[in-house]
Structure 1
């Protein structure tokens, strides 16, 4: 039986992804203990589609979050970073949704075998947000068996949680949906607003827009305090926090930044170096 349908729990999306989906107490008592490597819920594969095996390379490293940029082209959703890289064969369905469906079925209802962490699929809209999201919403409906869903403000966790980033014009059609199979990637300015965590469970920001420190020498105390205030504000509202544009060249500076982010409780560490971040997170840090 699919463990996500064994008993549907109504939870906040922040809890779904921050703590991972866990079985009900009765199911835990009789469940087989996990045998595979513990997935890395904080590991986020930025520009995941650029790897030799999109999605699969990240999952092989245990990542709990992957990112795909999409373009609305002739009614289809193509995955690429730049318009010049568009390929009709590289659709969101072919690279992500279909492989996830196959994997979840093979694993008996989970992305990571024996672990009930909901994989975050961060979908960055590269074309106009309103029409692109409407097309995406129709596609996601066809994969509703995989996805976390929000019905009238109540969240039901699934093996995959789609979070929408990119063009902010997607917000209006998302908010209008009574049944929504995707969630909104907020910005720091969304903290302290009326937008609930059931709508915007994630807050993302550019590291270089907020911090000057790039990992060389000690982190300035004022910047460390600013970081910790941001984490506290997000977590106080049941949201998770992610930064993009953090240093990603292998070396001491990157490790220093990752160490500060981890110590402050930032929920997702951003990288294009899957093996490097996996080593870091599985080390003593």
Structure 2
């Protein structure tokens, strides 16, 4: 009995230590500003917190790209150029060609296409190529296209600086997988958990399984529309989810800089 108790205690300590170490490994570099264009100051709030990933909706209307979710929200002020490309260029100029002054911090720019895939993506490429500073490999910016994306067979029609958001249920060829930068999934596909109390055991197993599968492909994963509170953030960290989804940019920034320590 004494040996059994001792083994159990050691295993418990090991799990607690591993969980704590996992929490400590997270910084704002693993934070993802979901639907960032809905923030009061798109891009600027997330970059002020040094988030590693920012997302904008993208809508094409009359040959102009807008960072909005619905066509009725389009205004001259809410263009993709005004809300993102302009501020990003200012940040690159400020930090010698990179988003952040720390050269080891990469920046993922997730662009969620809301209108027709091919014509919107063609216009996106045209706009990006007006700004070689953004698409230069030296900028350390990873551009990932999500939402309405072309079928995998068409990935290679686009410049190498364009990567795509993937789905774990699609069997990509090895070459197609090279163009996948991220796997994204709706949280509601795996659970109806509201972020209060512990995540149900069976739901946790489902999420852990898809995380393990994604990591086995050497890809990163995020779940969108997760409950947006500290308990959920901690749960996602314990499951080794690579990007923590949030609309509470300042709150998550404060939490990741302080609480895990």
TM-score, length basis structure 1: 0.75
Instruction: Map 1:12-91 onto structure 2 (within 5 A).
Output: 40-91=28-79
Q: Which residue of 2 aligns with 1:212?
A: 192
Question: How many Å separate the matches in 1 of 2:138 and 2:97?
Answer: 12
2:102 to 114, 118, 132: 114
2:127 corresponds, among 129, 139, 157, to 139
* Structure with greater helix percent: 2
Residue 206 of structure 1 deviates from its aligned partner by 0.5
Closer, same or farther in 2 for the Cα pair 1:227/1:103, shift >3 Å? same
In the other structure, the counterpart of 1:176 is 157
Which residue is 1:230 aligned to?
A: 210
In 2, Cα distance between the equivalents of 1:231 and 1:259?
A: 15
Structure 1 distance, partners of 2:27, 2:240, is: 17
Larger Rg: 2
Please, which of 89, 92, 99 is the counterpart of residue 101 of structure 1?
Answer: 89
Q: 1:204 to 1:157 in 2, by over 3 A?
A: farther
Give the secondary-structure state (helix, strand or coil) at the position aligned to 2:185. strand
Compute the displacement of 1:188 (Å).
2.1
User: What residue is the counterpart of 1:129 in the other structure?
Assistant: 117
State the shift of 1:265 in Å.
1.1
- Give 3-state SS (helix, strand or coil) of 1:169's partner: coil
SS at match of 2:76: coil
1:274 is matched with 249
**Residue 142 of structure 2 is aligned to residue 161 of structure 1:** yes
How far apart are residue 116 of structure 1 and its match?
A: 2.9
Secondary structure of the corresponding residue to residue 49 of structure 1: helix
- Conserved in 2, the CA contact under 8 Å of 1:191 and 1:233? no
- Relative to 1, partners in 2 of residues 1:131 and 1:227: Cα closer, same or farther, differing over 3 Å? same
TM-score by length of 2: 0.82
Structure 1 gap segments, 5+ residues each: 1-37, 149-155, 249-253
Report deviation, 1:191.
5.8
Q: Distance in 1 between matches of 2:79 and 2:141?
A: 18
The whole-number CA distance in structure 2 between the counterparts of 1:105 and 1:168 is 31
Pair 264,66 (structure 1): closer, same or farther in 2 beyond 3 Å: same
Residue deviations 1:99-148, cap 9 Å, x none? 21221122112211134322111111110111111111111222233226
1:7 maps to none
1:181-205 CA deviation, whole Å, 9 max, x = no partner?
2110112213665454430110001
Alpha-carbon distance between aligned partners in 2 of 1:198 and 1:158, rounded to the nearest angstrom: 20
What SS class does the counterpart of residue 116 from structure 1 fall into?
coil
Aligned to 1:265: 240
Whether contact under 8 Å (1:110, 1:116) holds in the other structure is no
Aligned partners of 1:170 and 1:90: how far apart in 2?
29
How large is the Cα RMSD of the aligned pairs?
2.2
Tell me if the contact between 1:47 and 1:67 (Cα under 8 Å) persists in the aligned partners.
Answer: yes
